[in-house]
Amino acid sequence: MSPDPAHLEHARKVADAILYEGYLLYPYRGTAQKNRARFQFGVLVPPAYTEIDDCELAVSQTECLVECPDEAEVRVLVRFLRSQQRIVQAAPADGGEWREVSVLHVDGSEYTAWDEAAERQQEAAAIVADLLGQGQVREFQTGSGEVSEDLTDAAGRAAGRLIRRWAALDGLIRLDAERVAGPYRALRLRVRVENRTAPADPPRTRDQALRHSLIAAHMLIAVSGGTFLSQTDPPEWAAAETAACVNIGTWPVLAGPADHPEVAAESAGDLFDATEIDEILTLRTLALTDAEKREARATDPRAAEIMDRLDTMPPEMLERMHGAIRYLRSVPGPRPEPGAVGSPGAPGDFGELGDPADPVFSRPQVPWWDPGADASVSPETDHVVIAGVRVARGSKVRMRPGSRRADAQDLFLAGRTAVVEAVLHDVDGQVHVAVSPDHDPVAELQRSHGRFLYFAPDEIEPVDPKAPDPGGRET
């Protein structure tokens, strides 16, 4: 990644998704079982806890190759979350003392005890020439602290307070570099991040260790005047050196406004679960009861933001999540005149239109996944010939699931009749026949949703030899 501001901003959006991955999962309540064991990614625990659980790490290391001169500058931004306890206290009654509670209700609002997280970052920079042979170390520390937030009722009376408390963290960033063999004098850059925190009371459990940990720790690395080499697809001359890179708890990925990871434009906001489909997760969250949403809002301010955002989401935003087709080539149309901007070989041409002589460009430009744009495919009128009988939409067939199937439910379909709904062709040239079983009580509902059973032609047999002939393509 270059230090260009646009590149850094692009990379930061991806890094933000990583920072909060798994932070709080659906249904976004602290009482949910999946939210009892938190923070699974990028946790650097205090060294003392690694003696109790050797599966946890106190150090992360990133090694990658970069082509750059000795005078280039390396900049590293280490980002992580710091855990902070949120303690809920009820106001004293009749001159008593403040008492700690797990849940507090104030005029319809709910407050719960919870471990929140705050974003922190540390920077380090060095000239490549200064890193060769000796390296550089930058130590950092974030101090402990505590803040209090008063809670009052509608009449202005003290009802309780929230106390947020966090522990000190000590760590360091170590930068090293060395030239590697090869024709281009590439540099192996090594960045280590270490948690050096030594709590007065050594943690005995993971929850205790998390309060002294760098959580979701990752780094953004930029080199001025340099070019990073891909760790997954390096040039041939650098393959051996790339394979020799040692990465601990991290994996370097190229970032920036190119063909690199990025947050989907259709995503309306973070849901803390990048392995889930936004649309499904949004619909499931919208289906939560009012009581469940109140509990989620009381769990964490970021969960409250999700509830508010989804409750007020306009329909068009939800429709955007349903899917998007991104064409790899221009839509069919008149080609620009030779020499015009955008024409093959013209200044500014980046191969978007391609060369007409190129066999790739000469292929049909209709994407296979968009049947509405491909007139050669018509599932409702195409047909297949089975035992000399044309089978198409409306044909009556008998289902004979083949031996290659392993679904026990097929035993209940064998010998039953069905109506053909469509004849489809996949990209490999295979034919699939969509059917609806006769006398199925939910057939109309399934048909309205476009849900059918699918069979190969040799798994069905015509019942009516006078099957309809709607025309269309024969297979």
User: Domain segments of the chain: what residues?
Assistant: 5-320, 377-462
**Is 293's pLDDT higher than 80?**
yes
For 201-227, what is each residue's pLDDT tens digit?
Answer: 999 999 999 999 999 999 999 999 889
- pLDDT of the residue at 334: 55
Q: What is the dihedral of CA 365, 371, 377, 380, to 10 degrees?
A: -170
CA dist., res. 267 & res. 290, Å (int): 24
Q: Are 106 and 89 in contact (CB under 8 A)?
A: no
Tokens at residue 455, please?
A: 């069979």
Could you identify the residue written with the tokens 């930029």?
222
Query: Rounded mean pLDDT of 39-54?
Result: 94
Give percent above pLDDT 90 in the chain.
60
pLDDT band at 326 (very low <50, low <70, confident <90, very high): low
- pLDDT of the residue at 332: 53
For 136-150, what is each residue's pLDDT tens digit?
Answer: 999 999 999 999 999
Residue, of 149 and 465, whose pLDDT is higher: 149
Query: Rounded mean pLDDT of 12-29?
Result: 92
- pLDDT of the residue at 327: 53
CA dist., res. 461 & res. 454, Å (int): 14
- pLDDT of the residue at 347: 38
Residue, of 7 and 317, whose pLDDT is higher: 317
Length of the chain, please?
475
Could you identify the residue written with the tokens 């619909």?
283
Region label for 387, one of left (φ > 0), alpha (ψ between -120 and 50) or beta (otherwise): left
For 368-419, what is each residue's pLDDT tens digit?
Answer: 445 555 556 677 788 899 999 999 999 999 999 876 676 778 888 899 999 9
With residue 123 as reference, give the H or E element that holds it.
strand 114-127
CA dist., res. 304 & res. 307, Å (int): 5
**Is 83's pLDDT higher than 60?**
yes
- What percentage of the chain's residues is helix, strand, coil (to nearest 5)? 20, 30, 50
CA dist., res. 106 & res. 119, Å (int): 28
Most confident option among 297-306, 352-361, 438-447 = 297-306
Query: Rounded mean pLDDT of 313-334?
Result: 70
**Is 316's pLDDT higher than 90?**
no
pLDDT band at 342 (very low <50, low <70, confident <90, very high): very low
Q: Where are the beta strands (DSSP E) in 169-269?
A: 169-179, 187-195, 215-223, 227-228
Q: Where are the beta strands (DSSP E) in 196-268?
A: 215-223, 227-228
With residue 74 as reference, give the H or E element that holds it.
strand 73-90
